[in-house]
Amino acid sequence: MSSSGLLEDLVESLRCLPGVGPKSAQRMALHLLQRDRDAARRLGETMIKAMDKVHHCQQCRIFTENELCRWCSDPARLSSQLCVVEGPADVLAIDRSTSYRGKFFLLLGHLSPLDGIGPKDLGLDLLESRLEQGGIDDITLATNPTVEGQATARYIGDIAARHGVQVMQIARGVPVGSELEYTDGGTLAVAFAQRTPLS
């Protein structure tokens, strides 16, 4: 099969997606070109709009098109409770699987000095600013049960302690080394219901 420069560019562009290797990217590109060009056009247009209009919520850093995300702007959610998570998928998993009715704060990663990821990269200056303003009674740390996730939780626990905020950590029914995004809803619900003080 002869290939054009644009086809090669399309295949290479699709490889930026997680878990998509050269063969999968080629299969996707050929499918879009051969079977569903209208869907491909919609996908391209939607991606351009999303890249231009989706940004971080000013309070919690979750992706949104508005100044505040749907969780921060919901008056029914408890502003006195804050759940700290590593990734956007963790927010969705907790919201879908638990009875948690507080607000969220998104780190977009975890502390990793070897990779050059420090507190400012995680927005911890913004988190501390929110704690200084008052009104938050307790924080639930729902970081992943990895070494980096635990180190990040400890760091945040120290910040919260300086401001007199109670810190809880979700129970570890979640397997060590796994990520919340891939944990089943039942396990996550139990872990959240049995959260414990950070020791």
Residue-wise pLDDT tens digits, 100-114? 999 999 999 999 988
- Phi, psi dihedrals of residue 55, rounded to the nearest 5°: -140, -170
Domain membership flag for residue 92: yes
Classify the C-alpha dihedral 78-60-108-184 as positive or negative.
positive
Q: What is the mean pLDDT of residues 145-173?
A: 89
CATH number (domain holding residue 16): 1.10.8.420
Parent domain of 116: 63-197
**Are 88 and 157 contained in the same domain?**
yes
- Check residue 145 and give its pLDDT: 80
**In this model, does residue 162 exceed pLDDT 90?**
yes
Threshold 0.85, pTM exceeds: no
**Are 124 and 157 contained in the same domain?**
yes
- Check residue 113 and give its pLDDT: 87
Domain membership flag for residue 83: yes
**Are 107 and 168 contained in the same domain?**
yes
**Are 119 and 146 contained in the same domain?**
yes
**Are 11 and 82 contained in the same domain?**
no
**In this model, does residue 2 exceed pLDDT 70?**
no
CATH number (domain holding residue 94): 3.40.1360.10
- What is the amino acid identity at position 54? V
Domain membership flag for residue 58: no
Q: Which of 45-54, 63-72, 75-84, 165-174 has the lowest mean pLDDT?
A: 165-174
Q: How confident is the model at residue 85 (pLDDT cuts 50, 70, 90)?
A: very high
**Are 147 and 127 contained in the same domain?**
yes
Task: Tell me how far apart the alpha carbons of residues 186 and 172 are, in angstroms, rounded to a whole number.
Answer: 13
Q: How confident is the model at residue 74 (pLDDT cuts 50, 70, 90)?
A: very high
- Give the tens place of pLDDT for each residue, 86-96: 999 999 999 99
Domain membership flag for residue 180: yes
**Are 70 and 48 contained in the same domain?**
no
Domain membership flag for residue 182: yes
Q: What is the mean pLDDT of residues 41-45?
A: 94
**In this model, does residue 195 exceed pLDDT 80?**
no
Q: How confident is the model at residue 3 (pLDDT cuts 50, 70, 90)?
A: low
Closest Cα partner for 125 from 91, 153, 159, 157? 159
**Are 161 and 188 contained in the same domain?**
yes
Classify the C-alpha dihedral 53-58-59-60 as positive or negative.
positive
**Are 91 and 136 contained in the same domain?**
yes
- Check residue 78 and give its pLDDT: 95
Domain count, the chain: 2
Closest Cα partner for 69 from 78, 77, 79, 60? 60
**Are 183 and 88 contained in the same domain?**
yes
